[in-house]
Amino acid sequence: MDQILFKHNRPDRVISFDEYCAESGFRALRKALTGMSPEEVQQATIDSGMRGRGGAGFPTGKKWSFVPRDLPGPRYLICNCDEMEPGTYKDRVLLEKNPYLLIEGMALAGYALGVEHAFIFIRRGYELAAENLRRGIVEAERAGFLGRDILNSGFSLSLEVHQSAGRYICGEETALMNALEGRRANPRAKPPFPAVKGLWGQPTVVNNVETLANIPAIIDKGPAWWKSQAATPDAAGTKLFCISGHVSITDCFELPLGMTLGEIIDGPCGGMRNGSNFKACIPGGASTPYFTKEHWNVPMDFDPVAKAGSRLGTGGIVVFDHNTCMVAVTLNLVRFFARESCGWCTPCREGLPLVQHILERIEAGYGEPPDIDILHEHVRHLNHAFCALAPGAMGPVDGLLRHFKDELSEHISGKCCPFRRDTTHTC
Amino acid sequence: MPRLIIDDIPVEVPEGTNVLEAARSLGITIPHFCWHPALGKAGACRVCAVKMLDGPVKGLQMSCMLTAQNGMVVSTTDDEAVAMRRSVIEWLMINHPHDCPVCDEGGECQLQDYTIAGGHGIRRYDGLKRTHVNQDLGEQVAHEMNRCIQCYRCARFYQEYAGGTDFGVTGHAAGVYFGRLQNGRLESPFSGNLVDICPTGVFTDKTARFRARYWDYEMAPSVCPHCSLGCNTIPMARYRELLKVTARRNDAVNGWFICDRGRFSNSTVNATDRPRQAMVDGQPFSMDDALDGLVERLSEFLELHGPGSLAIVGSPRMSHEGNIMAARLAEMLGAGTVSYFGDVVHAERTIEAVSLLHAGNSASQEDVRHADLIAVMDCDLQDEAPMMALAVRQAWRDGAQVFSVGSECPINSAQQQLFDSTAVSSLSDVPLASAVRPLIICGTRHKGLEQIRAAAASSVRLAFILEGPNTWGCAQLAFEHEAQPFSQTVADKRVKGIISLEADLPAEMLDGIRVLGAADWRQTGPLARAEVVLPTCAWVEQDGTFINHEGRAQRFKQVMRPGLPIKGLNREHHPPRMHRHDAPGGDILPAWQIVAELIKRLGGEQINNPLDAIWAELQGLSAEGPGVLLNREK
């Protein structure tokens, strides 16, 4: 297995522009602009089987193909770097080490889409990444990889870094566009989809950092090679997995898509911490239902994870050992989502605080048996929120109800959290 | 036209109708908070959930977000939909205070209705409620944020529909706050509509706070008397006091809203010092005796000076019935003059403007909202007809080009800019021919008409901003009866005495002229000098008709009985010490009835309905509905 995204990384610092160029950087861009049509770049992306790395896993090339090419006015490309999903930090690690892959990837995507203005919408806290990108853009412009008439191909692209004012909802693509336009970051109704009517009413593609950073490799070495980097024949490419929680080594690893959960934990993560036992994990960022020991051998790829009842999401894996109270974990997550609701629709704005309240009650030992029904009801009803935030927020609650019903009941019948019995609470 | 089935009832609706509206057309009300006909869909409240049983979309859906399509089978009563709606109500009630007994919205609260209808009664949340700090939004609109259910209607109306910039949404998640940056009077001249569109009690009418419940109000469909647009209203009164005025929907006229002037400028009706007592030579008389007194003086006057020196003066702010009667009185007495307008130039302009209108070119507010090019000529819309400015804004939001023509058109200098416009000096600079639905709005206070004549010949639609609620009617009557502007009759020195009917004549115009009688409900110049004072009913105290700027006759109904408001009674009147038929100050009549009485007492016929001859078609006019356009065919 080759590293695709991390292969240029220096252990202690960001790679320089010259170093990147020396390691065949911008070769893909040169190849595309001198020998490929935009359609061919898009076709290569489709052929690679690349699925969006931002969480939803939508095929990237297909998304590009939805953009109508015959509408008047500009089209836009936005890189979504508002990485705020708890447990997810891959884009930060990538950009703090190497901003050029993204810049090259956006130039390629911009070429494929016929875009002249592209934006990088970056999380407020990612100061270093933003600084790297700003410097990288200037360097790329100077070298003629961005700006007017790139490599004498007639293709022009300006790239702008926009630092978000903050909030989780800005990662939702339509809310992101509202934020970029200077409006409140409320999601927009779909349809119309951004591919047809997006930023300032124009066709817009929003892609994740990791997605775009993979495009140079797909163009440079070909879609077939790129696809073959996965661990299984069904999967395509590599994936950045960011691991946190009770394992020996917590870091962001670039691994072949399709490795099983067990292989990841026992391999690069070096097993569970201090000999503790695996109890559960969040497989793909805070909004995905839990995996338990029974999912140990599920290949970490989009379809197998979905089949197992969760989502690969962003690849942010948070591991919990046998001493972890899953009610407390869920409460912590729900608290985050309730805080991060944009406040637009009722289920999210009012429903999540109610779920939070119920979980607080259960965790504190005041839960009643009907509380479980309330949680079930909310898993159902929060699906009908305006955007995907509330349904996502109920992912962990759904997992809690499916896999840890006994633990929940124990909280209620024992009138306290069983994991705190010896310490804080008297029962 | 899509055909769908809602609760087993087949229905066909116009293209683009959403499922919620389609259900409404069948009389099925799907609960809704954020959706509003004038503001469109938002998808925020999620209470309009229905179950789609079959068709292009399946499962639980928000009916406001779903455009009706062929083959849809909708259930509003499906268990899943009902459960979802109940959940939404439960969520909204988590933080909503249980202060209905002291909330002004109680009884007219959409949240209250849907909470009870939805069956949410048992509280499962036992935590603390979220609270907010309220703001002082000025003298007219009260703010009680704790009641907010975050439907976003207020911010959408204020910012998008009405172009306001000083009020909006702040905060996020459960802390979303609707207000201003800091305390202060709402700047928009349409701010009062927040009271109407808020589905619960966040915004209430401060001027009517704590005065009555919805079921206490005396109310009736009415028409606003404050400008020539004739916006539809529902005034609400109690204990002979006009408490508040709300907007009444009329799609052809004002749509769903009214301006703040129409809503908040009505306290004159309640004024204790308003003319309520008939007087003869400064002494109080009963209405009956005062009428006899006027008849006596009139007879003497006619004998002494002859009918040629008498003028009967009507007024564009009086009901059309009153103005018809003014002409009939003049006719009966052979009076030398009947007047409807004071100033000569203004009268000429008004009459010419009205004569330029015909059935094919008169433009309503609805026409303005859908125009694609609008020229505003020599008028300050926000001052002369605020709702027209709001209508222009809607067209502008849809992409219409707006031109301001002439020097008296301070659109861009107005307090609040509702739309962008290009200033040009002459109508010939406006590319009328390039538009599909061009429209000219022209004032009559200033010049500008000269340029309209040429335009009137083409197919451009015209809207004139006239002076009062019945100016169109007065112009027609003036034309029909060859009325003279009052200042002209004064200049001719023909007139020696007048009977003034709700006329606003400046005092200097009356020098050397006897005001034999003046009928009015407002303290005006003629009334102060009148030998016989005859108090009349305000528009809310009578049935009547106003004909608006486009020639649309609209009926307004009596809202309340006349009389001193109980709130204003002093010890002389309260508690009552003797039986009487009228309330104190209630011995007054509508202007047209006063004239009818005079005609009868002068030996004429008994007139029970002034709407006859050419006005007979107005007799059956309903107060509900769009009204009737009286413009002749071209």
Residue range A5-32: mean pLDDT, rounded: 95
What φ, ψ does residue B633 adopt, rounded to 5°? -70, 155
In this prediction the ipTM stands at 0.92
Q: Please state, rounded to an integer, the average pLDDT across all residues of chain A.
A: 95
Residues of chain A with CATH 1.20.1440.230: 326-420
The residue among B449, B472, B495 that closes a domain is B472
End-to-end CA distance of chain A: 53
Three-state SS string over B124-177 comes to: CCCCCCCCCCCCCCCCCEEECHHHCCCCCHHHHHHHHHCCCCCCEEECCHHHCE
Q: How many CB atoms lie within 10 A of CB A21?
A: 16
> Is residue B258 located within the same domain as residue B289?
no
The domain tally of chain B equals: 4
Q: Decide if domain A17-227 falls under CATH 3.40.50.11540.
A: yes
Of A341, A361, A384, the CB nearest to B173: A341
- For residue B379, being part of any structural domain is answered with yes
Mark yes or no for CB contact B174/A381 under 8 Å.
no
Do B311 and B287 fall within a single domain? yes
A contact test, residue of B52, B85, B86, B87 with most A CBs within 10 A: B87
Same domain, B429 and B452: yes
Same domain, B448 and B432: yes
Question: Above 80 in pLDDT, residue B459?
Answer: no
CATH code assigned to A326-420? 1.20.1440.230
Minimal Cα distance from A383: which residue of B? B60
pLDDT one-digit tens code per residue, A336-375: 999 999 999 999 999 999 999 999 999 999 999 999 999 9
Which of B45, B62, B172 is facing A342, going by the closest CB pair?
B172
Tens of pLDDT along B74-123? Answer: 999 999 999 999 999 999 999 999 999 999 999 999 999 999 988 888 99
Torsion over CA of A285, A290, A292 and A294, rounded to 10 degrees?
-100
Statement to judge: residues B49 and B183 lie in one domain: no
Nearest CA in chain A to B96: A350
For residue B23, what is the domain's CATH number?
A: 3.10.20.740
- Predicted confidence at residue B631, as pLDDT, reads 86
- At residue A1 the predicted structure's pLDDT band, cuts being 50, 70 and 90, is low
- Nearest neighbour of B46 by CB, restricted to A340, A347, A370: A347
- Per-residue pLDDT at A427: 44
Mean pLDDT of chain B: 93
Closest Cβ–Cβ partner in B43, B169, B175 for A386: B43
Measure B167 CA to nearest chain A CA, in Å: 14
Q: Is the pLDDT of residue B234 over 50?
A: yes
User: pLDDT tens for residues B116-147?
Assistant: 988 888 999 999 999 999 999 999 999 999 99
pLDDT digits over B515-527, tens only? Answer: 999 999 999 989 9
**pTM strictly above 0.80:** yes
On whether both B262 and B164 belong to a single domain, the answer is yes
Same domain, B410 and B302: no
Which amino acid is it at B425?
Answer: S
**What's the pLDDT at A100?**
97
Smallest Cα–Cα separation from B554: which of B252, B314, B352? B252
Per-residue pLDDT at B190 exceeds 70: yes
Q: Tens digit of pLDDT for each residue in B404-451? A: 988 777 655 455 689 999 989 888 899 999 999 999 999 888 776 776
A351 touches A389 (CB < 8 A): no
Q: Which residue reads 């451009």 in tokens?
A: B460
| In chain A, residues 135-164 whose CB comes closer than 8 Å to chain B | none
Task: Tally Cβ neighbours within 10 Å of residue A122.
Answer: 25
CATH number, position B491 = 3.40.50.740
Question: Which domain covers residue B233, as residue numbers?
Answer: 125-270
State whether A386 and B49 contact (CB < 8 Å).
no
Thinking of the domain A238-321, which architecture would CATH place it in? Roll (3.10)
Query: What percentage of residues in chain B have a pLDDT greater than 90?
Result: 79
The kind and range of the H/E element at B554 are strand B552-556
> Per the domain annotation, does B109 fall within a domain?
no
Query: Cα(A317)–Cα(A251) distance, rounded to whole angstroms?
Result: 10
Q: Tell me whether residue B627 is in a domain.
A: no
Which of B92, B107, B139 terminates a domain? The answer is: B92
Residue B546 burial (10 A CB sphere; 0-12, 13-18, 19+): buried
B263 lies in the same domain as B289: no
Question: CB atoms < 10 A from the CB of B55, how many?
Answer: 16
Q: Is the pLDDT of residue B568 over 80?
A: no
Whether residue B264 sits in one domain with residue B141: yes
Task: Kindly state the average pLDDT of the residues A135-158.
Answer: 96
Examine the fold and report which residue of B270, B297, B312 is the final residue of a domain before the chain moves on.
B270
| Judgement on whether residues B249 and B129 belong to the same structural domain of the protein | yes
Q: How confident is the model at residue A426 (pLDDT cuts 50, 70, 90)?
A: very low
Per-residue model confidence (pLDDT) at position A421:
60
Q: Which residue has the tokens 């996965």?
A: A230
Tell me: pLDDT of B580 over 90.
Answer: no
CATH number at residue B441: 3.40.228
Chain B: residue whose CA lies nearest to A377: B87
Tokens for B52, please give them: 């789609």
Asked if residue B631 belongs to a domain, the reply is no
Within-domain flag for B566? no
Query: Do residues B328 and B207 both lie within one domain?
Result: no
**Are A345 and B45 inside 8 Å of each other by CB?**
yes
CA distance B437 to chain A (A): 25
Q: What is the dihedral of CA B449, B453, B457, B459, to 10 degrees?
A: -20
Arithmetic mean of pLDDT, A308-316: 95
Percent of chain B with pLDDT over 70: 98
Give the number of A-B residue pairs with CB atoms closer than 8 Å: 79
Q: Are residues B291 and B318 in the same domain?
A: yes
The residue type at B374 = I
